[in-house]
Amino acid sequence: MRFLFVHGTGVRRERHDTLFALVRDRLTARFPGATVDSCFWGERYGATLSADGRSVPGLGAPGTAPGPDEEEIAEWGLLIADPLCELRVLAEAGWDTAAGGHPDDDPDGDAFAMPGVQSAGDRVLELLAAVRGVPDGGEQAALLLGTGLAAGFPAALEGVSRSAEAARAGDRAVGETQARELAKALARAVTAAALASAGAEADCTGAERDRLVELITARLGGDARFPGARAAAVLGRLALRVTTQPLLNAWRGSLTVGATPALGDILRYQARGADLRAFLHERITAEPGPTVLIGHSLGGIALVDLLALAAARGEPVPGVELLVTVGSQAPFLYELGALAGVVPGTKLPYAFPRWLNVYDRQDVLSYLAEPVFPGDPRVSDQEIGSRQPFPACHSAYWKQDSLYARIERAVAEAEIG
């Protein structure tokens, strides 16, 4: 009996040798008379950057200074994640408007206002509460409809208007200068909430977003061109630190190069998988069976495709008695219609071998085969838990005794000698 191990995506020589040594030792311990071989394909059929990554913006040295728009982009990333965050700054920190830093010192305000007299902030909140959904006609209505924000705009208005953050910020806005900044912050919060609601369905440019903020701010008695003070300063510094986009922009080159083997192998296989399948066929048939194929991740996808295509042609790969896929995406690709060998809704070909599919619930790259091929006695799933989070669990299968015990049982059930 012969075992042939087919590694997964992103594996190159050093990693392959370490991984295969582990698999070979564990299999040899359970099957002393078996031959254990490997099919290393990573360097020959794996992905590389043929133009040295010149297609990647910012491939230069990481850590460069943010571009001119990066702070603004980071601010809006933070606002969309938490539309009330700017109002929260104003609610908690208030305004530094004078040497003493107390809002009552604002020269536009009245520290001795009579009780019951409406403050500047309360007036802004009252104007916001009076705004009702998408207006009929006009520039604002056209913007909301044209950007895909109209559906979520009423809820965004209501959520911001009724928020404790808005009420607290309004209490602290006692002067006209503060009220103008509050109006702008409220407009940004409403716009961010609408963008968050629309998600990927939003068709909104930065210019359209800014114009919407201007129109809402004007309805609240403010001026969106009025420079922000405390909230904008705090939010800008914080956004550059905690949002992912500035980091991704600065490190995009090195991240792309680092991710190329793993992601690139999958994309290359989808475009040119026939070359890898031909190589696997050659390696499988180089020696007589019976053969047990063990494919990890992308290796399992390629093996499913190879065996299904060959069986459908009436030319099953000689000697293959059992297929074991570990942490495989093949069942999911079958559902998507992205498997080369099996069309969604069809059964596995008659000559397809027994298939043991091993998965871990924590491994987001592993999927179930039995439910997508219901009633097929050749297909069985086996859950294995490494007690590791993703992505560590995607490689932790190979140290689990339960994996090799389940392979041993499958070999016995198939009566492979």
Confidence check: pLDDT of 109 > 50: no
pLDDT tens by residue, 368-405? 999 999 999 999 999 998 888 877 888 889 988 999 99
Q: What would the pLDDT profile of 135-146 be if each residue is shown by its tens digit? A: 778 899 999 999
Residues 217 and 351 in one domain: no
pLDDT in tens, 184-218: 999 999 999 999 999 888 888 888 999 999 999 99
Domain of 25: which CATH number?
3.40.50.1820
Number of domains in the chain: 2
294-329 pLDDT tens trace: 999 999 999 999 999 999 999 999 999 999 999 999
Please give the helix or strand (H or E) that residue 24 lies within, else none.
Answer: helix 13-30
pLDDT of 354 > 90? The answer is yes
Looking at the structure, do residues 83 and 194 belong to the same domain, yes or no?
yes
Q: Are residues 192 and 74 in the same domain?
A: yes
Rounded CA-CA distance 292/355 in Å is 10
- Do residues 180 and 299 share a domain? no
Residues in the chain, how many? Answer: 417
Both 146 and 240 in one domain: the answer is yes
Has residue 96 got a pLDDT over 80?
A: no
Edge-to-edge, what's the strand order for the sheet holding 2-6? Answer: 35-39, 2-6, 291-296, 320-326, 354-359, 379-383
Q: Is residue 256 part of a domain?
A: no
Per DSSP, the residues of 191-237 read HHHHHHHHGGG----HHHHHHHHHHHHHHTT--TTSPP-HHHHHHHH
DSSP structure class, residue 106: -
Question: Which structural domain range is residue 168 located in?
Answer: 70-249
Domain match, 242 and 303 both: no
Q: Render pLDDT for 41-73 as a digit per residue (tens, 0 to 9).
A: 888 887 665 555 555 565 554 444 445 566 677
The tokens describing 352, both together, are: 């397809």
* Whether residues 162 and 301 fall in one domain: no
Contact by Cβ (8 Å): 184, 217: yes
pLDDT top residue among 175 and 125: 125
pTM: 0.63
| CA 134 to the chain's CA centroid | 32
CB-CB contact of 324 with 330 (8 Å): no
Does 101 share its domain with 231? Answer: yes
For residue 78, being part of any structural domain is answered with yes
Among 61-75, 85-99, 402-416, top mean pLDDT goes to: 402-416
* 214 in the same domain as 122: yes
Q: Is residue 278 part of a domain?
A: no
Both 218 and 175 in one domain: the answer is yes
Does residue 300 sit in the same domain as residue 402?
yes
Q: Flag whether 52 is in a domain.
A: no
Examine the domain organization and report whether 159 and 235 are in the same domain: yes
